[in-house]
Structure 1
């Protein structure tokens, strides 16, 4: 029966498989391999939880991925990623990682599918700049947009470099950058110096958080081209804080001394409401040291180093409106080989083994 299924029907069946199962199916025969490559991923629905991607901060050539279905760690070698690039964030629903060039040269962005090895540079920016804030909006399964805000402009005629008070947008459909308009210089300064690049898009506003104490949030309203600023709850007392998306709403997770970790959701009138507390026994594991946080629709992860373990808050697969806290052991060996402990940058994405038209 399986041999006689039309390719489009078999590809639809394959779209429900988690990535590791799809890879095995594609290895069965040429017909299944071809159908697997035709499989399309709908970014508006995901049948499986996102995967955590851990990048050692000293290398862009390796990454460790955690399979949440089998609770296993795997090593990926990103030999196709050029040197002097670093991961910024993910275009999660498309299964892509956004990289940026490092050093004093003008920013150059590129995208990579770590599972298929596909890699591509984005075109140069309209306004050359270094170290801007970077954000992503995923409009639909076939389109995404990348935004850059602020950054340092190259000095002209031997003069001093200055902050670039503009916002640019890259559209994957047109493959072009467009200058969207100006921004307050003070916003450009803060987004350049104090922003770790994680962004959240909620209710037609693209948000970034400054990492300086006290924490604050800056947002760009798409409909009005207006810049806004929000306070962060307990922003001057939090040991760590991060924005994450949850059910289309802007959410902040932060921790205080003593292991008290809270989750706030932005409500009407820009009021913050506490919606969740991490169990105390899990929060105590993150006392001291440099705690980091990354989020995606359906999951949030708090982590430190590669072998220290992580706390994940994610949607229960059997109950759409129920979320659960769980502990995940860190990665200290892969394929029986002992690993050194690495400081890492963590990201979330939904792996995609299907061919992308963007490449």
Structure 2
């Protein structure tokens, strides 16, 4: 192991440190050093010795990692088949059989600060027939592809822990899924048509799942709420901020908000809704976090140029303020690559990522530097068809909320 001395700083080269210094460091101090390493470096160093290898199963080490490890605002992407019309594909027997045997796609991790891509296979510990649906606090949520009642899995892809939630009481069609997790609690919401009858008018309802290790509260899909009339939730994603879940509704475009404490839904009018294309919700980190709408604006009048714009929901109100606009030269590149197919957005920390439907191209925006840039091509999708779907991801070795499901499920069986 080497370090830079004063001689090295002056250009004379590095000085090798005495290995006896490192050999005699207290084990607790070594553990604290390992606890703050980036995940990739930690997993490489696990091969050094048996003790370091076993740290992933040490409660004291995982607790130190949870307390000391700096937050890392990464993004995770999954390569999926290009979007198709759900009404023509989901009800067929062949597509259902294919969905039930389809292995989960690998997780493609991007560190926006270094532009480094990592590939994380999931098929060794996740069953087939599940697709990514939500994420929070180092936990990835996967939902069953087969029609009928939905089953959700919560997984920490680094530690390979998996927890199965009980199936939803009602069959669902293309539900929107939201997840928020803390050190000792988690909440999930699933909203969609409840499919009471294939001939009935849409009956849009939502179900919530809550588990709190601190209070012992456990509520498996028992909280049901009715969505506002004349809405159509976008199945892409929900975002969570300050006790409220948000999702897009189309035809006409609006934002639906669900207050967890009051179990109540409301509707927020979207800005410039008559001229929006591919509106998407995202979250920017902060205190408090900001709920964002990102959309293409297309208006025939020359006084309103076509662009991609970002609006932020003002605190304690239902008003939106435009905060960012894609520069014309970047928009021309983006428009050529997107070709009118549509796009989705995901935010994490101060980074916003836009993925193009039918493509593996990604454009990033940094709220601090105000820089729009194309992400480096993912080396693991070279020559592959399909499109990328992104989620916010914070790599964590310890995700105690996953353990709440197993302990709660056992006590209620």
Is TM (by shorter chain) over 0.5? yes
Shift in alpha-carbon separation, 1:216–1:315, aligned structure 2, 3 A? same
Distance 2:75 2:199 in 1: 46
Among 266, 286, 293, the residue aligned to 2:345: 293
Task: Give 1:350 shift.
Answer: 1.3
Contact 2:256 2:267 (8 Å CA) reproduced: yes
Matched, 1:280 2:325: no
**1:127-158 CA deviation, whole Å, 9 max, x = no partner?**
454433221123x3232211123432455xx9
Contact 2:351 2:364 (8 Å CA) reproduced: yes
Matched, 1:47 2:71: yes
SS in 1 for 2:187: strand
Aligned to 1:16: 36
Among 156, 160, 165, the residue aligned to 1:117: 160
Distance 2:69 2:248 in 1: 27
Matched, 1:340 2:384: yes
Contact 2:346 2:391 (8 Å CA) reproduced: yes
Distance 1:132 1:44 in 2: 36
Uncovered stretches (5+) of structure 2, i.e. residues with no partner: 1-20, 83-101, 299-304, 404-413
Q: TM-score, normalised by structure 1?
A: 0.81
Aligned to 2:406: none
Uncovered stretches (5+) of structure 1, i.e. residues with no partner: 317-321
Contact 2:81 2:385 (8 Å CA) reproduced: no
- Larger fraction in helix: 2
Task: Give 1:101 shift.
Answer: 0.8
Task: Give 1:349 shift.
Answer: 0.4
Task: Give 1:181 shift.
Answer: 4.0
Matched, 1:207 2:246: yes
Contact 2:326 2:372 (8 Å CA) reproduced: yes
1:1-359 equivalent positions in 2, closer than 5 A? 1-5=21-25, 9-37=29-57, 38-40=61-63, 42=66, 46-57=70-81, 60-79=104-123, 80-91=125-136, 93=137, 95-138=138-181, 140-155=182-197, 163=203, 165-171=205-211, 173=213, 176-184=219-227, 186=229, 190-191=232-233, 195-210=234-249, 212-246=250-284, 247=286, 248-257=289-298, 260-267=307-314, 268-287=316-335, 288=339, 289-304=341-356, 308-314=360-366, 316=368, 324-331=371-378, 333-334=379-380, 338-354=382-398, 356=400, 358-359=402-403
Distance 1:44 1:214 in 2: 46
- Count of residues in Structure 1 that have an aligned counterpart in Structure 2: 341
- Larger-Rg structure: 2
Q: TM-score, normalised by structure 2?
A: 0.71
What RMSD over aligned residues (CA atoms) do the two structures have, in Å? 3.2
